Chain A
């Protein structure tokens, strides 16, 4: 113990060697924005004849710890759009409050909130791009579902860099690798949207959620699913993946009990 405050509570120099003072510096770039903390995994979305369906599981992970198991990652904007959030949960909460303030402001006018899903997606992608340009990104990958100005079903993604991508079926995170191939097989490119029924779209997402639960270690079997049609938004936030079969796990080799 000596009279230098920077030495208090630290390992002794004579035992452990000099402390690396670079950890003490107060200047230099901010680093806490350069990685997410509590995260949600994949978001899945499929367009069908007359609407869009979106699904996420209800998990927020803290690293590899399944920290929060009742997290609602599908957020409804006004009465016209749904946003599905993957990535950092606190940034999702920030964006959720931002969207709420926009909805309140839009309702000052007597026409109510006129922003459609496409407007919302454009706005969100610009928020993401602005924040990444400030080196302070909002660590999310979102899907926006609803309708465009022509009243056609709309589904598009925006990520932490402000990149946008649109397709009849989309998935973020792990889902981009595991769910998209399944969705592409179920709804091939040449298949017109009119032939995709709501039920088929919902079933496809349930199937994808199951596969993701099998293979994505940051996922869980409780999920939320939201369907947007011209009649409105129908959201279920307490669903459970049904018909699981873990028989295949016995034959998985390379780790765990069977290392050879």
Chain B
């Protein structure tokens, strides 16, 4: 960065002559140091996972969760500055609740991502604030069946007009990643944080765009990818935190929940085995 020291990085929202916004780029650096977070959009749900680095032995295992629930059907995991992530989640909850206040139903994942993208972007515009030091992955499931309006007591006429379409199906899984600049895209598989390069390489191997990966396999892959991504910072201990959102007739009934302990431990065991297998392969190659 030759432009450092030229003064264009001293205030937020200031462009450098070559069109860069340095404060935002520094915020991205903060994200690149955070524990790896991944999200996988499967055909029948979404998985979120994060590598939670243990910063002290005095912290209670399993406490201080890094994946948060927004409304019922959305989960958010972030990499980077934890307090910024918390504030981001708090804003997401407010947005989801105000959506319900207006529309009397759950916010679609895409709409939530849009509003959060707008919110994060606003923090790149003013000298009185700094950008978010987090990249957040937002995963959700929009109900495929027509939902009752909040507070609805009856079903209305059984036949005739009523705006109901027989057998209409919408909704499905949604996965978005929001960066410090406010940029967000929808993804099949998203990764951020320290081990993102390794994680992205693994995600690309899964052929997610064909839409064949099941949620159950997605959980195993997410665990494995976090373990793979952790290889570069092996000296630090970590906890794997995972959550999922299934379809309405899946294991979580369209809600965002923590992956059950047994399932997570099974996935972790498989992840460790897969890594050991890889090590052995490499050793064999060396011997050859």
Contact = CB atoms under 8 A, between A and B. Distances in A.
Interface of A: 60, 68, 70-73, 89, 92-94, 96-97, 100-101, 104, 107-108, 110
27 contacts: A60-B153, A68-B154, A70-B154, A70-B155, A71-B153, A71-B154, A72-B153, A72-B154, A73-B153, A89-B153, A92-B153, A93-B153, A94-B151, A96-B150, A97-B104, A97-B150, A100-B100, A100-B151, A101-B97, A101-B100, A104-B72, A104-B97, A107-B69, A107-B72, A108-B68, A110-B65, A110-B258
Given A68-B153, A97-B151, A110-B258, 15 more contacts: A71-B153, A72-B154, A92-B153, A93-B152, A94-B151, A96-B151, A97-B104, A100-B100, A100-B151, A104-B72, A107-B72, A107-B255, A108-B69, A108-B93, A110-B65
Q: Which of A72, A89, A101, A104 has the most CB of B within 10 A?
A: A104
B60 to A, nearest CB: 13
Contacts, number: 39
Contacts of A107: 69, 72, 255
Nearest to B152: A93
B25 interface: no
Interface residues of B, number: 17
B95 interface: no
Nearest to A95: B151
B67 to A, nearest CB: 9
Interface string B53-71: 0000000000001001101
Interface in B211-240: none
Nearest to A98: B151
A244 to B, nearest CB: 24
A44 B172 CA distance: 40
A77 to B, nearest CB: 13
A94 B71 CA distance: 18
A224 to B, nearest CB: 11
5 pairs of A and B residues whose beta carbons are closest in the complex: A93-B151, A70-B154, A97-B151, A96-B151, A71-B153
A27 to B, nearest CB: 30
A107 B93 CA distance: 12
Contacts of B68: 108
Nearest to B63: A110
Contacts of B255: 107
Interface string B63-83: 001001101100000000000
Contacts of B65: 110
A238 B276 CA distance: 58
Contacts of B104: 97
Interface in B7-66: 65
